[in-house]
Amino acid sequence: MDLVLAKAMPEDKANAERAVGNVFAAAHGRLPGAGRIADIRARAFEAYERVGLPHRRVEEWKYTDLRVLMRDVLPLAQQPDAPALRRAQAAVEQSAFEPAIKLVLVDGMFASDLSDVARLGKGVDVGTLREVLETSTSDAMAGLVLSTTADAMISLNTAMATDGVVMTIAEGRVLRRPLHVIHVATASSASHFTRSYLHLGDGAHATVVESFVSAETACGYQANNVTIALVGDQASLSHLRVKADAADAVNISSEIIAVGAKAKLNLFNMIHSGAVSRYQGFVTLAGKGAELAVNGVNLLRETQHADTTLVVDHAAPNCVSRQNFRAVVDGAGRSVFQGRIIARPEAQKTDGKLTMRALLLSDQAEADNKPELEIFADDVNCGHGATSGGLDESLLFYFGSRGLSENDAQALLIQAFLGEAIEGVANENLRDFATAQTERWLKARR
C-alpha cells in the first residue's frame, strides 16, 4: 500500500486493510493454481483492496455495513485434521437427508471420505475446484470458475478460494437424487472461502441443496462462498440453500447464474442462524422464454442480522420471474430484503413480480425492504410490493379461547405466514426439509 495513501486513511480502516493483506499473504502458498491463476487472484485482491469491506455508503450494502458488523477478515482455516473430520462427520449426519448424494466441504476443503462420489450416476461428473486450478489445461475453464465482479466480497473470494465442488451434468440427463453440498465449519475464529461451479446441460434436470452447518465446538468463524451456475436451454434446476451456522458466525454467500432459453430455475434461500448472514444472487435470464421462481425466508431472533439481495436481469424476451420473500423477526433482529428487476431494451414481453412481507414479533425487531424496477423495454408487465406488521391479535385471542397456549398460537400463525414461500419449493422432499428447519427455529424460540 502506498504510504501517503495509508496516512490519509482513518487509522481503523488502514489497520483493517493491512490485516486483510497479511491474511492474503499468509495464505498465498496454500491457494491452488499458479501462473495465470495466481495473476487472477492477485488482480482480484487488488480490486478488493481498492474498496475494502462494503459499508453503508455502498448502495447495495447500505443496510449491511460489514465494516461495523464484520470489522475484519479472519486468518484462513487450516487443513482439517482427523479430529476435525470426525467432528464434521457428526455434523453431516445431523444435516444430511436421504436420498440426497452428499458432497462435503470441511473448513473450505473438499472431504472425499465424507462424500458420496461413488453414488454418482452416468452423465454426472463431480470434481473439485482445487483439481481444476492445479491440473486443468483449459485457461478458459479456470478463468470462468474464478470469474469476478465489481462486488468486493466476490473479488475477495476470487483471491482466497481454497476449494469447492465443480459439477457437470450432461445434456438430457435427469437426476433422480438431489446433490447435497454441505459446508461444515469445525475451526473457530478462522475464515474459509469456497467457490463452486455447476454446468447443467441442455435439457437436463437436477436438484441441488446447499447447507451451511457447524461442528459442535466451532464458533466465531467467517464463511465466504460463491457459486457460479450455467443452466442450459430447456433445462430445469431447483436449488435450495439453508444457512444454519453457529450463532456467532458470519456468512457471506453469492450466486451468479445464467439461464438459457425455455429453461426453468427454482431458487429457495433460508437463513435461520448465524450472527450476520448475506445471500446475494445475480440471475440473468439470458435465453428467450426462461422462467425463474425465487422464494426466500429469514427467521431471526436476538440480534441476528440477515440480508437477502437479489438482482434479476431480464436480458431476453418473453421471460418470467417471480420473487417472493418472507421474514419473521423477533428480539432485536434485523432482516433485509433487496430485490431488483431489470428489463433490458431487447427484453420485450417481460413478466416480473416481486413481493416482500415481514412479520415483526417485538418492538425492537426491524425489517428493511427495498424493491426496485429498472425498465428499459416498452412492452412489459412488472410490479412489486412490500409490507410489514405484527401478528393478528384477534386470531391470537381466538386460538387462546380454543385452549391453545400463546406459543402454540404464534407458531401456527408464523407457519401459515411462511407457507406460501415454502410451498414455492418445487420438490416435495425439499419442502419437508425446509419445513423441518422452520419447526426447529420455532422450537428454539420458546
pLDDT band at 57 (very low <50, low <70, confident <90, very high): very high
Average pLDDT over residues 50-75: 94
pLDDT value for 440: 87
pLDDT-based confidence at residue 127 (cuts at 50, 70, 90): very high
How many residues can be counted in the chain?
446
Tell me the average pLDDT of the chain.
90
Give pTM, 2 decimals: 0.92
What totals of helices (H) and strands (E) does the chain contain, helices first? 11, 19
Asked if pLDDT for residue 17 goes beyond 90, the answer is: no
Q: What is the mean pLDDT of residues 81-99?
A: 91
The span from the CA of 372 to the CA of 378, in Å, is: 17
Q: What is the pLDDT of residues 358-413, one digit of tens each?
A: 999 999 999 999 999 999 999 999 999 989 999 989 998 888 888 888 888 999 99
pLDDT of residue 97: 81
Q: CA nearest 184: which of 162, 214, 229? A: 214
Query: What confidence score (pLDDT) does residue 336 get?
Result: 96
**Would you state the pLDDT for residue 427?**
79
pLDDT digits (tens, 9 = 90+) for 233-256: 999 999 999 999 999 999 999 999
Phi, psi of 58, rounded to the nearest 5 degrees: -90, 120
Closest CA to 235 of 169, 321, 189: 169
What does the alpha-carbon distance between residue 375 and residue 296 come to, in Å, rounded to a whole number? Answer: 24
What lies within 8 Å, CB to CB, of 140 at 6+ separation is none
DSSP-derived letter for residue 180 is: E
- pLDDT of 28 over the 90 cut: no
To which H or E segment does residue 44 belong? helix 36-51
3 state SS of 266: strand
What is the predicted pLDDT for the residue at 29?
A: 83
Which of 221, 122, 111 has its CA nearest to residue 165? 111
Q: Band of the pLDDT at 48, cuts 50, 70, 90?
A: very high
Indicate the pLDDT class of residue 190, thresholds 50, 70 and 90.
very high
Which helix (DSSP H) or strand (DSSP E) does residue 135 occupy?
A: helix 129-135
State residue 359's pLDDT score. Answer: 96
C-alpha–C-alpha distance, residues 182 and 353, integer Å: 31
Mean pLDDT in residue range 412-435: 88
Helix (H) or strand (E) holding 243: strand 236-243
Domain spans of the chain?
A: 11-287, 391-445
pLDDT above 90: residue 36: no
**Cβ proximity of 126 and 166 under 8 Å:** yes
Phi, psi at residue 133, to the nearest 5°?
-75, -30
Q: Which three cell numbers stand for residue 57?
A: 455508503
Query: Average pLDDT, stretch 180-187?
Result: 97
67 has a pLDDT exceeding 60:
yes
